[in-house]
Each structure stands twice: as C-alpha cells, then as structure tokens.
Amino acid sequence: MSIRNFAIFTCTLLFSLAAQAQSAAKPTASAAPPSVAAASLHLHGGTESLRLHGSTELPGYTGDFDHFAVDVKGNRLFLAAEDHGTLEVFDLVTGKHLKTIKGVESPHGILYLAEKNRLIVTDSGAGFSKVFNATTYKVIDTIKLAPGADSMGYDVSGKRMYVVTGGKNANMAESFLAKVDPVTGKKLGELKFDTDKVEAMAIEQKGKYLYINVTGKNYVAVVDKEKFSVVNTWPVKEGAMNAAMAFDEANQRLFVVTRKPFKLVIINTKTGASIASFAAPDRTNEAIFDKINRRIYLAGDDFISVFQQKDADHYEELSHVSSAKGAKTAIFVPDLNRLYAAISPGEGKTGAAVLRFDVVPAAIAIK
C-alpha cells in the first residue's frame, strides 16, 4: 500500500470510530440519568448480580422519597414521596410514571391490601394515616393512632399490620408500636419504647415473633405477636443507630444495618448472637433479602451492596452496583426478578428518579 493510500485509509478508520463513539454516547429513552454511573465493582470473580434495565426521571422533585409497595397483578408500583407530600404510581413493567396521588402530608410506609382493593399509607403529618381506594385513589378512611406514624410491617399469616408512631416525628420522647386490624382500622394493642427513635421491623410468617430496631437505644426487641409483649432484647454491639432490617426466616437470620458506622450485622435469631458483619453503603435505608438467589441487597448512597449467602453462617460481598447519590430506598419484586431503587434528590440537584435493575440469577439460586 502506498503512503498516500495508507494515510487515506487511516483517516477513514479514525473518522468511522469517532462516529461510532458519538452515536453510542447518545441517551436512549430507557438510559440511566446522568447521575447514575455506568460501571459497577464486582468484588469476587467478576460476579454480576444486578443489571441496570432503565430509569424514570421525575423532574421538579426535591427532598426525600421513602418506601415502595407493589401490586403485581395490577402492574403497579407505588412510591411514598415523603417530602413532596404525594404518592407516585408507576407501570411496574415499563417504569412509566402513571399518576401523582395527593391527600397525604408526609407518607412513609405503604401497604397494598389486594383483597380489599385498598392502599394504607402511614403518614407522620398532622393528620392520621390514610386509607385509599386503590382504583379511584380517593381517601376513604383514616387510621387513628398516635401521631408520627412511620415504619410499617404486615403479617400476612396473621393479617395484622404493625405501625411505629410517636418519637421524633411527633416531637415526643417516647415511641410506640401499634398492632392494627388493617380491614377495620381498629387498634388491637400498643407497646411503648423509652426512646424517640424506633425503625424497621421484620415479622415471622411461620413463627410467633416480630423483631424491631429500637434505634435510639441500640438494640433489637423481640416481640411475641400473640401476647404482644417484648420477650427479649439483643444489643447491637458492632455499631449504633440500627435502622434498616431484613429477614431470612428459613435460616433464622436477621440482617440489621447500623448508621454509626454504616455496617451490616447478621444475627442468629435462635440465640440473639451476631455471627458476621460487613461495611454498608453510606445512608443505607433499605435492606432486602432475596430468598430465591440467597442474596442481601443494601441500598445507600452511590451504590447497592450485594452479598451472597453461602449458608446460614457464611456470607461474602459480591459487588457494588452503581446507582446514585440518594438512591437509598428499594424494593425487590420476585415475580419480575427485578429490583427498583428510588433516587432521593434531597435539597441537592442530582435529580429524582426510579431505577430498574434486572436481577442476574445466582449459580446457587433456590429452584
């Protein structure tokens, strides 16, 4: 090849590569928002656990989101926009934003009660927690509890709802755990905790206990659901301000996240002893146990930490899956094998969004 022809060939090749790079850089309708990094850190053998599927941006939102709920049959995803004073509804499959529901002040937890076609929303605003018709999205009732309603848990086996009230949200020095019939809204019992901060809970579906983070006192309380009394307390020694929680009932393992420092602590619920601990993402506000793939997902600032459960007593961290600053609440939907994370913009300019991740099946997944 002559020098002249070689030069022409080289220029043509470079132009072609540049054009391809520019084309690849153009965003698509389902691309992640600019605040989401494309790379993830795989810590063990390049194991991929979550794959970004797409995102839905929510322009104009400030402050924090709180928790999700899902209606699989109706193809709906619900998100509590805590600081925006709304509930947001999305298409579960496509992620399309369908509706903004008003009528709440500071929503936190959401329970979709399919058999009654209701949405129950804990609300720490001046009003009571709300009950919505899940078709019309109109408020049809209120649940009259102590002010400051926040964290919520639902016992499917016993058909009972548990709600944390009082505390900082209500400018009270004490917090309460209310036991509620979700159909009638009647309060069936109440426990008092001598602290202004009580957070997440986990509920046995085949057993008789409920576990709850007594955050202000740095312990886990064990509650007998039938007697509705505290029967044991387990100090969390690896860190302070235990907040997020998940549960593997089959293996009797509780996954607790502390905030000072941010750590994942794994507790044997047969003994109350901790068996392992790991670093957690900053501002982790959601812990999820995926019993199919035997994984733990922790949603916090910048990334989702993924841990593999080898057996009840042995765990390893698989990856840090890039998300965004403020992506600290999430939900796993096993029917779709998909995880959703909400990016809370706070008072910053990161942009609000809901991210959709496909879960990559684990080699040791339960069939």
Q: Which residues fall within 8 angstroms of residue 338, CB to CB, at 6 or more apart?
A: 53, 332, 356, 357, 358, 359
Query: pLDDT for 169-182, tens place per residue?
Result: 999 999 999 999 99
Query: pLDDT for 50-88, tens place per residue?
Result: 999 999 999 988 899 999 999 999 999 999 999 999 999
Question: Can you tell me the distance from the alpha carbon of 285 to that of 229, in angstroms, rounded to the nearest whole number?
Answer: 27
Split at pLDDT 50, 70, 90, the class of 4 is very low
User: Measured at the alpha carbon of residue 302, what is the angle toward residues 299 and 307, in degrees to the nearest 5?
Assistant: 45
Please give the backbone phi and psi of residue 19, each rounded to the nearest 5 degrees, phi first. Answer: -65, -40
Query: pLDDT for 197-213, tens place per residue?
Result: 999 999 999 999 999 99
pLDDT, residue 1, reads 44
Q: What is the pTM assigned to this prediction?
A: 0.88
User: Which secondary-structure segment (H or E) carries 15?
Assistant: helix 3-25
pLDDT, residue 126, reads 77
Encoded tokens for 245:
């929680």
Query: pLDDT for 302-335, tens place per residue?
Result: 999 999 999 999 999 999 999 999 999 999 999 9
Split at pLDDT 50, 70, 90, the class of 125 is confident
Examine the pLDDT at 37 and tell me if it is beyond 80: no
DSSP calls for 77-105 = EEEEETTTTEEEEEETTT--EEEEE-S-S
Query: pLDDT for 137-154, tens place per residue?
Result: 999 999 999 999 999 999
Examine the pLDDT at 25 and tell me if it is beyond 50: no
Examine the pLDDT at 3 and tell me if it is beyond 90: no
pLDDT, residue 127, reads 73
Query: pLDDT for 108-123, tens place per residue?
Result: 999 999 999 999 999 9
Q: Which residues fall within 8 angstroms of residue 77, CB to CB, at 6 or more apart?
A: 68, 69, 70, 71, 89, 90, 91, 92, 331, 340, 354
